[in-house]
Each structure stands twice: as structure tokens, then as C-alpha cells.
A and B are shown apart, each in its own frame.
Chain A
Amino acid sequence: MVSVEFLSYIGATAITVLLFAILSLTVNLQYGSAGIFNFGTVAFFMIGAYTSAYMTLAGYPFVVGAIAGSAIAAVAGYLISLPALNLRGDFLALATFMFAEVINIFVLNVPALGGAVGIAHVPSAFPWIRDYGTSVAANLILGSALFVGFYLLYRLIMVSPYGRVLKSIRENEVLADALGKNTFRYKSQVFVIGSIIAGIDGAAYAQYIGFAGTELFTYAVTFTVYIMSIIGGSSTGVGALLGSAIYTAVQTGLLILKDSVALPVDSNNLLFILFGLFTVFVIYYRPDGIIREKLRRVKI
């Protein structure tokens, strides 16, 4: 008989995997399918989390908070996409990266958003559940539902003519332009869709951990999500889930290892050293990720 604590632990890990898989899915949508280097992913995640935390603390239900969060993330995504998408690919990455830093500095200094302390006691999406095990189960269902929903959306986009335009932008933007597609508009739309997904995901994350603070949303999150996306395979939807699962499994495994084995080095340091090297090796041996895009044969 497996104990409830053990199941809750597995469940909590699975929720983390799912929530980061959703964020990784936005990377796959923007970078993997359309070739947009958005290094500001964390900004939209953060906007969703903070908006939802602020709204639910003010008494609104979670759904309203999540919708508001995704709406503000969408507006922010649209506004930053206007100047940013005119830039060359790698400049876009650096510009969005700095945008995320600006958002972080801004939130850090607004007293209404908690400043450096952050927003604590964010109400759960399921305020009627008191028991820890049940709340983990409820969050697991929420996370799975969100992931499946967004995964289906991703698949829908990718199998439609719209998705083929995105892929053609990734492969050769000039060609897509020459075929009469307004590539700027397509890229801007994908940017906004990704921001909306990240916003909703942020709302789910804030209510799950019950806290929103600037130290949770540093640029390390963006890099983590990119690592997940690259490891799993950035041009498939399942790759996002696999990348997130591998990342979390390695991290959890190292955490368990450090508790059970006496090590000559500080275990926290060892965790990051090994993880950094793991990333380097995976990218070296599987640069396209574990799950690769299937190429279709087209009859001419």
C-alpha cells in the first residue's frame, strides 16, 4: 500500500512538470514552429501570475484572474512584438530578454504588488478544498486539462494551413513574404498566442504555489524553459512535455541523491553543476531534441 504522502509528492512533481510543459509549449510554438527567438517568456508568465494573484486576493474567482492575466499578457506581448519583430532574429532574443528584465525591475519596485516581498497567500483555485492530498489531485487535474487543451490548440495550429505558413516563415522568411504572406502579422499573432498561454499558465502557477514573487520570475526561468524545449524537441508538442519531465526528473533525482549520499561537495552546488553539464551533453549529442519533427512527403 502506497502512502498518501508519497502519492502527493509524485502528484506535486507531476504538476510542476505540467505547468512548465505548458510554458515550454509556448517556446515550441514561437521558436519551434515560427522561428521566433522570444527570450522574454518569463515576462508573460510573470504578468499572468501577478495579475491573477492580485485579482484573486481582491476577491475575484480564479477564472476571472486567469482571464485578466492572459489579457494583460496578450496586450504586453502585442506591444513588445511591434518594435521587436522588426529586429533580426538574435536581436529579437536579446530585446525580449531585456523587456523581461524591465518588467521584473518594475514589479520589484511597485509597493502595491508586494515589492521585494511578493504577494503571499494567493488564494487557491479550489478554495473549498482544505485537505492537502485532495488539493494536489485537483491541481493535477487542472494542470492536465490546461496542458491537454493547449496541446490540442498547438496541434490544431500546426496541422492547419496557418501552421504551414509558420513553418515556411521558420525555414525561409523571404520566401514566405514573396508568396504574399504578411509574415510580420503571422509572427505577431504567434507572439500574442504564446503570451496568452504563458499568462494563463502563470495564473495557474501562482494559485498552485500560493505565492508570487519577483525571485520566481528571473531570466533563469526563460533559460530553463528553453533547455526543456531543446532537450525534448522544439518542433513537436510532446517534446515540450518530455523536456519538462526530463528536466524535473533529473532535478528531483539529484535532490534525492543529495539527501541519501554523503558528498564531499555542497549538494546544492552539485545539483546545478551536474545539471549544467547534463544540458551541455544533451545538446551536443541530440541537438534537435529527443523527439524530432516528422517530415511529410508531399505529392507534387
Chain B
Amino acid sequence: MNILELLPQTFFISIVDGSIFALATIGFSLTYSLLKFPNIAQAAFITFGAYTAYTVSTAWNLGFEAGVAVAFVATGLLGAFSYFAIFRPLAKRTPGFIAPTVTSVGYGLALTYIIQQVWGRNQLYFSTIFRSFSVSIFFVNWIQLGTMALAAALVLFLHFLLSSTKFGAAMRATSSNIDLVRASGIRPTRVILFVWFLGSALAGAAGVLVAGQAGVTPAIGSNLLVTVIAVAIFAGIGSFYGVVAAAFVLSFAENFSIPILIALGQPVYYSTAVAYIVVILAMLYFPSGISGSGPSIFGVLRRPRKSAWQQK
């Protein structure tokens, strides 16, 4: 088989994978930029989303779309609850990086095994069957198209939220200077709670989309976790557009290394390692990610509005 024939298919799969990576990472990155620690329990949120969708769509037979919607909301609520019950009290007691990180590890461990207790450890499949069809030389599956569409819609929604609404401005402000936000009369807790809801909901959605293609296992979240971390550091923590760009760079690096590895006669499993090495090497030149992480943490791409004194 000619390797060049694989390229259109690889290109398409890279876009689908990139959409999933972006969804899974945006939440991780948003919460990271607000509370300044990586929430390892995000892996458990991804798994939780996948299993919730399984229960709604397959066990209760309500269809895949309903599963995605319920998983989105349920995972979001779980995330908001986690912040409220665990991480907010902890942040009051111990500032720093390692203590909340290790706490999230422990919390994620507990959540993952609760999930495993409830749903079992066997691989489960959605009853919905997604048809494939061929477009000239490559194959397309409906769930892949749905993944791309959902990811695009959510990214556009977030772009609108962050750049054009007052609440988005409050989110950006909270991530860059929380004391100033408090002084301006915004309640940071509400903002952070909403970001945790949104970030976890996106992780849940990413979990469903992965599971729709490959089935649900308790390991689905931890398998995605390393990629999420890679994308987040490659992007520069908290940069929204950086995350989207980095997700696609990483998925293209991972998928396009497969034909190259085949041509070189190496195991294709190295493709993941290739993607991570790309990230590690990129960090030599961009020590804080491709979009940097200066004061404008959410890094919204828009012309700065003239401030009041400039307009006079």
C-alpha cells in the first residue's frame, strides 16, 4: 500500500483528534489559570462524562445526543461540586502548587474507583451505531463529523463568551489579578465556580466523544490525561487560542508520524512519544508555551478597546 494514499485519511483523523484534545484541554487549562494548579482529577471527569452518557443513551435508550447533553451538564455539576467541596476549602488553608496538585491526584483516584465500582471495569459500547461513508479516497464516520461540529460550536461559544460578554471579562480579570477583581466588586468565587462547571463539562463532552468511537473503560480519562497535559503546556497555561492551536499541532504530529514511522520500519506506537518529544523540544524555544503566559492569561485575540481616558 502506498503511504501517500494514507495522507488524506490521516489529515481527517488529525482534525477529529485535535477537536477532542482541544475540548479536553480547554477545561484543564481554564481551571489551571484560575487556581494555578493542574487538576489531575480532570481525568476522572472525562471518564465520568463518558459513563454518564452511556447510561443515558444506551441503558435508558434515549439516544446519543441526549447522552452528550446530560454528560455535559452532569460533569459540569460534578466539577463545580469538586471545587466547592474540596479545592476551595483547601486553597484557603494552603496556598502553593504541590498540595492542591497531590490532593487532586487523591481525589481523582477516589472518583475513578467510585466510577469503576458503579459501572464495572469491563469495556462498554454505545448501542447507537454510527454509519461510515466514503468521500472519494477516505472514510468518514458520522460521529467524527459530529465531534468536529460540536468542538467547533463550543470553541466559538467560548470565544464569544470570553471576548464579548461582561462575564467573560470577569473570567479573564479573575485569572490575571484576583485581588483587583475583589476590589472591583466582582465575586471571584462565582466566576471560579462557573469556570469549574464549564471546564469540567467540556472534559465530560470530550469523554463522550472518545467513548463514542472506541467504547467506555475506566481508563479512558487517564489515557487522555497525558495528552491533555502536553497540549496545555505546549499552549501556555490558560491561553484559550493557544490550547486550540496546540491541540491540532499535537494531533497532527501524532497522526502524521504514523506513516513516517511505517516508512522507517519503526513501531507505530512511538507516534505518541513523537508528539510529546515535539512538545518538550518546543519548550526549549517557548519556555512558557507557544502563546506565552504573560499578564493576559486568557489571551483573547481582539483589538484592545480604547479606554475612557484615550477617548477623551
Chain A residue with minimal CB distance to B111? A276
* A230 in contact with B37 given A272-B109, A273-B110 (CB within 8 Å): no
Chain B nearest Cβ from A78, distance in angstroms: 15
Interface string of B274-306 (1 = CB under 8 A from A): 001101100110011100000000000000000
What is the total number of residues of chain B having a CB less than 8 Å from a CB of chain A?
48
Q: How far is the CB of A290 from chain B (nearest CB, A)?
A: 14
Q: With a CB–CB cut-off of 8 A, which chain B residues contact A101?
A: 226, 272-273, 276
The answer to whether A6 has its CB under 8 Å from any CB of chain B is no
Give the residues in chain A near B280, CB-CB below 8 Å: 83, 95, 98-99, 102
Residues facing A in B83-110 (CB within 8 A) are 86, 89-90, 93-94, 96-99, 101-103, 105-110
The reply to whether B103 and A280 form a contact with Cβ atoms under 8 Å apart is: yes
CB distance from A281 to the nearest CB of B (A): 9
Q: What band does the interface of chain A fall in when counting residues whose beta carbon is under 8 Å from B?
A: 35 or more
Q: In whole angstroms, what is the CA distance A162 to B114 when docked? A: 46
Contact with B along A94-133 (1 / 0, CB 8 A): 1101110110011011000000000000000000000000
Chain A residues contacting B81 (CB-CB under 8 Å) are none
Q: Which of A56-64, A142-150, A181-189, A219-227 contacts B (4 or more CB under 8 A)?
A: A219-227
A279 lies within 8 A of chain B by Cβ: yes
Which of B126-134, B149-157, B227-235 lies at the interface with chain A? B227-235
CA distance A275 to B102 in the complex (A): 13
Per DSSP, are chain A's interface residues mostly helix, strand or loop, or mixed?
Answer: helix
Determine if A279 and B38 form an interchain contact, defined as CB atoms under 8 angstroms apart: no
CB < 8 Å: which of B116, B232, B273 contacts A269? Answer: B116
Asked whether any CB of chain A lies closer than 8 Å to the CB of B210, the reply is no
- A284 to B103 Cα, complex, angstroms: 8
Q: Who on chain B is nearest to A111 by CB?
A: B267
Find the B residue at minimum CB distance from A87: B287
B239 within 8 A of A: no
B36 at the interface (CB under 8 A from A): yes
6 interchain residue pairs of minimum CB distance = A276-B110, A279-B106, A276-B109, A287-B94, A272-B113, A269-B117
